[in-house]
Structures are given as C-alpha cells and as structure tokens.
Amino acid sequence: MMISRLPLKGILTACLMCLPSLVSAQQPGFASTLQSTLDQSAQSGKFTFVVFHRDNNAATRDFYQQTQTGLLAHGEKAVLTSAKVDDPAERALVEKLGISRAPMPLAVVLAPNGAVTGLFPRTITPDLIASAIVPPTMMQCMKELQNQKLVFVCMTKTDRIDVPEGVRAVQQLPQYKDRISLVGMRVDDPAEARFHQQMKLEPNKVNGPYAVLIAPPGALIGHFDASASTEQIAAAIHKAGQCCNDENCKHNHAPQASGPAGSRR
C-alpha cells in the first residue's frame, strides 16, 4: 500500500469548492434559454462555457471574444453561450451556482454530466479553457466530489473493474456505505493521461486490483493495492478528516486543496 496526502493539482483540486453538480433548476413561470442549452449539451456530450454578465459593456464583449477564440482549438467538444446574471429566467441556476455576487464577467464551465469544471472571473486564457475540458473519468469524479462523496478510482487494464477487497470492505462499514463512490478507469486509455498526472499514478505499477482515493474538495488521500487492509484504508480516511459527517468531530476537517491552479482565479 502506498499512502499520499498530497493535494491534487489543477482543475480537480477545488472541484469548485464542492459545488453541487448542476441539475435542471428552471425558475417557475420563466423559460430558461440557458437550461435548454445545457440540456442540449448534455445530450450531445459537450462542455458548455457560459459567460455571465450584468452589462453588455466592452469588458463583457472582450471576455466573450477571448472565450470564443480560445474554444476554436477544441473543435466540437464545447459550446459557448451567455446569460445575464440578474435575468429572472436564470435565477434558479444562478442561485444553484452561488454566483449572484461574483465579479463579472464570469465564465462558468459545465460538463455534460452536470459537473462544474471551471469558474473564471474577469480573466480567461487558452490554458484555463483547456483545463476545464476534463477527461471522462475526471469529469465523473468531479461530479461525485461535488456531491460530497469519497471517490475510489479503481484502475483496470480490461473492461472489467477490479476493486481491492479492502476498499469493498470499507464501503460496507456503516459510517461510509452512503458516502463512497467507485469509479472505474482503464489505465491504458490515452484520453485519461492527464488524470494519471493529477493522481500521481504510474500505470506500469498497476498489477491487479488498485484504487486511488480522492476526497472533497479534491484532495488525494492515498493509493491502495490488493494488500491494503480495511483498517489501513479506514485509518487513511480518518487521518484526512473524512471519517464522518459530524461537524463537531475533531477529525472531521476536509483536507485543503492546494492553490487555485486551473479552476479558480
């Protein structure tokens, strides 16, 4: 077993401070054009870059143009739209995102599965845009983390997901059974190479059941192979301050993500 408590770098770190994954949240009595766009993006598997603004001034137009230009390099992976942050039709979405008082203009990036993968106030660059278009497994993990789940990313070299027995046993413990998500990932999938780096994973060391544990808001807790015991895994969760949902527990202090690289500025 190899334990690491180094925070994940980049877009996964914050998971936008554990924002809930976005679901349909249309304000009663109003037709949300933005929600319709999000629904279409979800069906087509595209990321949606939403430029929120209060006024259609020069700063907003420049920000929108920079975003549009930056997205040219990503082909059909993303769509761009805009919305007024004080539009009554978008109030439910704005409240869900918690951006009503955020500095504007603001780009919010939403993955096809509803996860928030980027928040960029006032400044956006090609690198930031690229950071928000995350690999498939990373996108799935971000959604689970934003729903306050402990995520075990289970590595595999085939289409069959092997879960270490210690991880399965921890998942059955009363204090964890409703708080753990298992996500499978093929270590030979080139599309996931960026996520390998985030998790400090060396694919050639994956032989048999192997899992990486990530906790909200995006902290790397440890790597566990088939030899990891239930007690060792539970101890790592406990040490990371993720042992329970009791806010008064002296151990219950979520590990801090390092820096705002990628997702927040």
pLDDT at 128: 98
For residue 21, give the nearest of 90, 111, 82 by alpha carbon: 111
Q: Band of the pLDDT at 112, cuts 50, 70, 90?
A: very high
Proportion of the chain in helix, strand, coil states, percent, rounded to 5 = 35, 20, 45
pLDDT at 96: 92
Q: Residues 118-133: pLDDT tens digits?
A: 999 999 999 999 999 9
Q: Band of the pLDDT at 157, cuts 50, 70, 90?
A: confident
**Residue 68: what are its φ and ψ, rounded to 5°?**
-60, -45
Does position 27 have pLDDT exceeding 90, yes or no?
no
Q: Band of the pLDDT at 30, cuts 50, 70, 90?
A: low
Lowest mean pLDDT among 115-119, 133-137, 194-198, 236-240: 236-240
Could you give the residue ranges of the DSSP H alpha helices within the chain? 11-18, 33-44, 58-71, 91-97, 126-132, 136-146, 165-172, 193-198, 230-239
Q: Band of the pLDDT at 78, cuts 50, 70, 90?
A: very high
Using a 10 angstrom Cβ sphere, with 0-12 exposed, 13-18 middle and 19 or more buried, the burial of residue 28 is exposed
Mean of the per-residue pLDDT values of the chain:
84
C-alpha 161 chain-centroid distance: 21
Q: What's the whole-number mean pLDDT along residues 38-63?
A: 96
Does position 264 have pLDDT exceeding 90, yes or no?
no
pLDDT at 174: 92
pLDDT at 153: 97
pLDDT at 104: 97
Does position 177 have pLDDT exceeding 80, yes or no?
yes
Does position 146 have pLDDT exceeding 50, yes or no?
yes
pLDDT at 31: 60
Q: How far apart are CA 238 and CA 36, in angstroms?
A: 42
pTM of the model: 0.81
Give Dmax over CA atoms of the chain in angstroms. 59
With pLDDT > 90 as the criterion, what percentage of the chain qualifies?
Answer: 71
Residue with the bigger pLDDT between 159 and 65: it is 65
Residues 6+ apart with CB under 8 A from 256: 7, 219
- State both tokens at 82: 């805009």
